[in-house]
Amino acid sequence: MTLPDNTYYLEESDVMRGHREMMKKVIGKFFTMIGRGATADTEAQMILDFETKLAGIRVDRTESRQDQGTPTTWQHMNELMPYWPWKQWLQELGSCTAPPDGSAKVCTEDHLKVRMVGAPGETPLYISNEKFFPKLNTLLEGTQLETVKALLRWKIIRKVALYMPANWIDLMVEWNADLYGTSAKSPRDRKCYYSTSSGAAWPMAKLYLDEVFHTENRDAALSMLELIRAQFYATLPTEKWMTQEDRSAAQDKLQAMFFQVAYPTDKEGNTHWPKDTFDMDGQMGADFMTNFMLKERLSIEKDFDEIAKAPNRRSWGGNSPLEVNAFYGPDANGLWIPAGILQSPFFDAGNSDARNFGSIGSVLGHEMSHGFDDNGRLYDKRGELHDWWSKSTVANYKTRSTCIADLFSTYKVAGRSVNGKYTLGEDSADSGGLKFAYEAFIKKTARSDEDRRVFFTSFAQTWCSVERKKSALSAVLTDPHAPNKFRVIGGMTQFAPFADAFQCPTGAPMAPAERCELW
């Protein structure tokens, strides 16, 4: 078959060639296990060939990350990709069908609102990475039906493998060892924990909040958030690279930003547990795989139900209070700080300010800064996609942020360069988070030299980790965050108070004479 002229093919290094051979071997073994031994090697090669072609037409990650989506119509989709039966697909997608394992339905009727997406007066249809679809159309037109069938078998196998008997899991371990350097299955108790926290996140979260969580940590985190917001707010009028109108609009956006801390609350601040918390009550099956499939169906049902409802800006989406993480939602202009991260070693109300502000404080400031990064700045205070910055402010922002992107692109992991353009959003948020957390920390009360050094040490320890080389190399290609080592080095070197606290002379590795400065 012939692909469009602008199709590119991935370079095949010795390492990549080895990964491809391992993928083919693993697929062949899985297909033999499901009774397709006679055609296993042939189907594995078909899948590998298709996936290679598909990888060659994907939109670059850096470019894709900037695409916020645009309204479109089904007619336009048919023009972009006539090979795919969009209307029939939509009708089937919205059907309430019986589960293949014979268990009870979680739906009661067809999802009419799903079937009406894109119709006048109904939920609008959006498209992102538009130029991908004509290429996909060409690829599918030239793909044999048997290849598509083999690919779908493989998609199902990959989805369920970790919920199947030990020999399936062993084969996944073999594959992951090649890709990421992992060498053994997770211990049973660890697997049980992560499976439960993933499959029944909300019931487990409520149990954790009711029985274990230190509620004083939530109060302390809310207080810290307000101090950091106040510092950010006070800094904005001094940002000369922004016009006066844009500085005022940024202050309005910052002031309108809402916080969801530890657990879900409504507009009035009352605890508000979502429907997900109770959906599995009385529906659990007798085995691991059945319950996994129940979880998957409930997740799809939730997504379909939400299509027919007005957006809930305070929704936790696919996350839960169990996460050891934090999030900013540009289309909601809100921060989510789960209970899971409001515990040691990241945070505890009993820790010193230096430890708390250096660790979780920088994380909170990081998420707040996402409202004004290369993607967040495209949304206004209501979370609506709206170009609210003037041309001069945008130009100045790009100049300053390009400095950060160029800096991180100089960092390498085992010879592989970090893509500073792809990690820019996270790197610039790190820069803002460190600055505003530190300034809120020193403004709160008088700080000693030791306090300042502990602050920066705590920041660095937050990103302390051990990672296998294969996993680290994979992350450089796929993770929008820079490697943890460079989040520390890149953040510290560009923040002058770090060099002052540790008395680093100008020109030393951690105290460059010239720095990138966004905020």
pLDDT confidence of 2, banded at 50, 70, 90? very low
How many Å separate Cα 196 from the centre of its chain?
20
Residue partners of 267: CB distance under 8 A and separation at least 6? 314
Residue 4 in this model has a pLDDT that exceeds 80: no
pLDDT confidence of 10, banded at 50, 70, 90? very low
Region of poorest pLDDT, from 55-64, 313-322, 430-439: 55-64
* Residue-wise pLDDT tens digits, 366-408: 999 999 988 899 999 999 988 899 999 999 999 999 999 999 9
Region 89-101 average pLDDT: 90
Region 232-256 average pLDDT: 96
For CA atoms 420, 423, 429, 431, give the dihedral sign.
negative
* Whole-structure pTM value: 0.85
Q: Is the peptide bond before 345 cis (omega within 30 degrees of 0)?
A: yes
User: Burial letters for 341-371: b for 16+ Cβ neighbours within 10 Å, e otherwise?
Assistant: bbeeebbbeebebbbbbbbbbbbbbbbbbbb
**Which DSSP symbol is given to 385?**
B
pLDDT recorded at residue 5 = 37
* Residue-wise pLDDT tens digits, 336-364: 999 999 999 889 999 999 999 999 999 99
pLDDT recorded at residue 374 = 85
* Residue-wise pLDDT tens digits, 111-159: 999 999 999 999 999 999 999 999 999 999 999 999 999 999 999 999 9
Residue 99 in this model has a pLDDT that exceeds 90: no
Region 200-219 average pLDDT: 96
pLDDT confidence of 469, banded at 50, 70, 90? confident
Ramachandran bin of 415, using left for φ above 0, alpha for ψ from -120 to 50, beta for the remaining angles: left
CB 262 within 8 A of CB 213: yes
* Residue-wise pLDDT tens digits, 265-316: 999 999 999 999 999 998 888 889 989 999 999 999 999 999 878 889 999 9
CB 210 within 8 A of CB 262: no
Residue 201 burial (CB < 10 Å; 0-12/13-18/19+)? buried
pLDDT recorded at residue 474 = 87
Q: Which domains does the chain have, with CATH numbers?
A: 14-69+128-185 (no CATH), 213-272+314-501 (3.40.390.10)
Instruction: Specify the higher pLDDT residue, 468 or 278.
Output: 278
Residue 8 in this model has a pLDDT that exceeds 70: no
* Element spanning 241, H or E: none
The backbone torsions φ and ψ at residue 379, rounded to the nearest 5 degrees and listed phi first, read -115, 140
Separation CA 366–CA 358 (nearest Å): 12
